[in-house]
Structures are given as structure tokens and as C-alpha cells.
Amino acid sequence: MVKTFFVTGTDTEVGKTLVTQALMQAAVESGRKVLGYKPVASGCVLLDGELKNSDALTLQASSSISLPYAMHNPYAFAPAIAPHIAAAQANESISLGRVSDGLARLKATAVDWIFVEGAGGWRLPINERQYLSDWAKVEHLPVILVVGARLGCINHALLTLEAIRHDGLVVAGWVLNHIDPQMNEVQANVEALKLRINAPLLGEIPWLGGEVTESVHNFIDVSPLLK
């Protein structure tokens, strides 16, 4: 049976792609075949006649199986704006059914784990009525929360966790990503988060100075996801 995890963040720009890539690499190191899925992406550029997103390309490159780009990212929009606005400008409608069909195609390959990277935070609108979190609910996906360590992260993390659990989903774990090298009282905030988040801590990624290293997966422990 294919295990699928939904990776969300406390906000945009908290390092979801970096963490998803690290999770995928750590899973590969543990002997799993993995695939990355970015259902909806904006801020795409035209490459080889196809709109492609840098985050989705990262997930494609980190995957164990070589598949066409569109299988990793079914909805790709050029403007770097909220996806539901970008879709409206392109006269498209983002469908949960199409997103589910894309996941089903990935599950049909010889893969063990799939990591789905969301966009923005938990309540990302995809059309006038629905959120990407609605799709995670439909698919009953366990959630991995990326907490960006910066001012306000405790509030953002706890509110996001409340929303995920209110939606009836399991929080499989969380990752703390240090994104602000100027943050005050870092350790006090870290301890406050650890005290209040009732879920496995899968890793703590230090400030990397904007550089993504090949060894970032060494900060991740995927063993709690085996349960």
C-alpha cells in the first residue's frame, strides 16, 4: 500500500519545498521509492513549451521514478500570485477531481511513499468555494507541518494545528525550519513549540544561508512515519 503525506506550512515562504525534498531524500535513504506531487503551483515559467514551477521541478528531480513533469504538477500558472486568482485569469477552474486523478496515477506506479507539497498555508483557496485542505480531507491524508521559525511562529503553528485537527486529519509530524537568522530568543521559542505541539518532531533544519545542501536530509528522521 502506498503511503501518502500532505506537507503544509504555517505560512508561505517557510521552506515547504526544502523540507519536502529532505523528507523524500530521507525516505530514499531508508529504502523507500518515493514520488513528489505539487498539485497546484503558480509562479511558473515556460520551459520546453510547458509551464513549469521550480518547486515542482525540485520534487520531480528528487523522485525515485522518472515521470513526465505534468504528472508531478497538473495545475501550473505563470503569475506568482494566489493560485485561485491565477486560475481565474487563465480562464481555468481548479478541480479537486483532477487533483485526485493525478494522485491516483502516481499511486499506480511502483512507489512506496508519495509526498504532496501544498501551496501557501493550510487554508489555500483553489476556487470560489473550496480549499486545497478540502482535497486533503477527501483523500484522508496524514499531514506534516512545516513551522518556519520566525516571530509569530508559535501562534501560526498552533492555529494551523487546530485547523488540521478540526478537519479530522492526523498530524503525522512536524519539521522546524530556521528561516530567520535574526530571530530573537530562538531556543525559548523552540522549547515553547516542542511543549505545545503534540506530534512527532521529524527534524530541525538550521539556517542554511539560503543554500540548499545535498545533506539536508540528515536533519530529518522519517522513522515516526513508519508507524
Distances (CA, A) of 69 to 35, 54, 58: 12, 11, 11
Query: 503544509: which residue's cell?
Result: 8
Catalytic residue numbers?
Answer: 38
What whole-number distance in Å separates Cα of residue 172 and Cα of residue 157? 14
Strands 50-52 and 45-47: antiparallel
Enumerate residues 6+ apart whose C-beta is below 8 A from 220: 19, 22, 23, 25, 26, 175, 202, 203, 205
Name the strand (E) or helix (H) holding 117.
Answer: strand 113-121
Joined grid coordinates for residue 193: 513549540
Cell of 226: 513508519
Distance between CA 213 and CA 218 in Å, rounded?
A: 10
